[in-house]
Chain A
Amino acid sequence: MQKLLNLNRFAMYALLVIAVSIPLFMPASCTTIPTLTNSNTQDLYIELMAIPEGKTVFVESDWTVSTRGESAGQLEAFLKIARLKNLKFVLFSGADPQAPQVAKNVIEGLNARFEKNGLKPLEQWNDYIDVGFYPDVEAFWQTVASNPRRVFPGKTAYDPVAKQDRDVYESPVLKDIRKTSDIAMVVNITASGTIDIIVQRMSGKGAKLAGMVTGVMAPEALVYYNSRQIVGLSGGLRGVVEMETMMAKGVNFSEGGKEPFVKAAQFDGVIEPLPASYQPFARGMNYFASLHAALFLLIIAVVLGNVGLFMTRKKGGK
Chain B
Amino acid sequence: MDHNFLKVVVGVIATLALYSVLYRENKFYRLVEHIYIGLAVGFSMVALWTETLESSFWNVMVGKAAVAATDTAPAQTGTPGFYLFALLLPVGLMGYFVFSRKHNWMSRIPIGIILGLWGGQQIQIWWQTYSPQLQAAMRPVLPTATDSIIVPNSIRLSQVATTEISTASTLPPEVVTTLSNNFRMNTDAVAAFAQANNVEIGSVQGAMRLMAGKVGGEVYASQAINNIIFLITLLSVLTYFLFSFEQKGKFLLGFTRLGRWLLMVGFGAIFGSTVMTRFALLIDRMYFVMIEFLRDGLPRVFQGG
Q: A residues touching B (Cβ–Cβ < 8 Å)?
A: 9-10, 13, 16-17, 20-21, 24-25, 66-70, 72, 97-98, 100, 131-135, 138, 142, 152-156, 162-164, 166, 196, 199-201, 203-204, 214-216, 218-219, 223, 226-229, 235-238, 252-254, 257, 259-260, 263, 265, 268, 270, 286-287, 290-291, 294-295, 298
Contacts and interface: CB of A to CB of B under 8 A. Distances in A.
A219 B52 CA distance: 32
B64 to A, nearest CB: 8
A252 B52 contact: no
A132 B51 contact: yes
Interface of B: 22-23, 40, 43-44, 47-48, 50-52, 55-56, 58-60, 67, 72-74, 76, 118, 121, 124-125, 128-129, 132-133, 135-136, 184, 186-188, 205, 208-209, 212, 266, 269-270, 273-277, 279-287, 290-291, 295
Contacts of B284: 68-70, 72, 287
Contact of A97 (B48, B76, B129): B48
B99 to A, nearest CB: 21
Contacts of B273: 215-216, 218-219, 235-236
Given A25-B290, A153-B60, A216 B274 contact: yes
B51 A133 contact: yes
29 contacts: A9-B23, A20-B286, A68-B284, A97-B48, A132-B47, A142-B121, A154-B56, A154-B60, A162-B73, A163-B73, A200-B125, A201-B128, A215-B273, A216-B274, A219-B269, A227-B132, A227-B135, A228-B136, A235-B273, A238-B276, A254-B186, A260-B186, A263-B186, A287-B280, A287-B283, A291-B276, A291-B280, A294-B282, A298-B279
Contact of B282 (A20, A200, A260): A20
Contacts of A134: 52
A154 B85 CA distance: 13
B135, B188, B281: residue with the most chain A Cβ atoms closer than 10 Å: B281
A236 B277 contact: yes
Q: Is the interface of B mostly helix, strand, loop or mixed?
A: helix
B290 to A, nearest CB: 5
Nearest to B47: A97
A227 B282 CA distance: 33
Contacts, number: 170
A21 B290 contact: yes
Given A153-B60, A203-B128, A254-B186, A164 B73 contact: yes
Contacts of A216: 273-274, 277
Contact of A236 (B212, B280, B287): B280
B17 to A, nearest CB: 15
Contacts of A228: 132, 136
B76 A215 contact: no
Contacts of B44: 97-98
A257 B280 CA distance: 36
Contact of A268 (B55, B212, B275, B295): B212
B204 to A, nearest CB: 11
Contacts of A10: 23
A286 B287 contact: yes
Contacts of A155: 55-56
A254 B129 contact: no
B184 A257 contact: no
B44, B208, B266, B277: residue with the most chain A Cβ atoms closer than 10 Å: B277
Which 9 interchain pairs have the tightest Cβ spacing?
A69-B284, A132-B51, A215-B277, A97-B47, A227-B136, A154-B59, A69-B280, A237-B280, A154-B55
Contacts of B59: 154
B2 to A, nearest CB: 15
A132 B48 CA distance: 9
A63 B274 CA distance: 16
Contacts of B67: 164
Given A153-B60, A227-B132, A291-B283, A135 B52 contact: yes
Nearest to B213: A268
B23 A13 contact: yes
A69 B187 contact: no
A252 B274 CA distance: 31
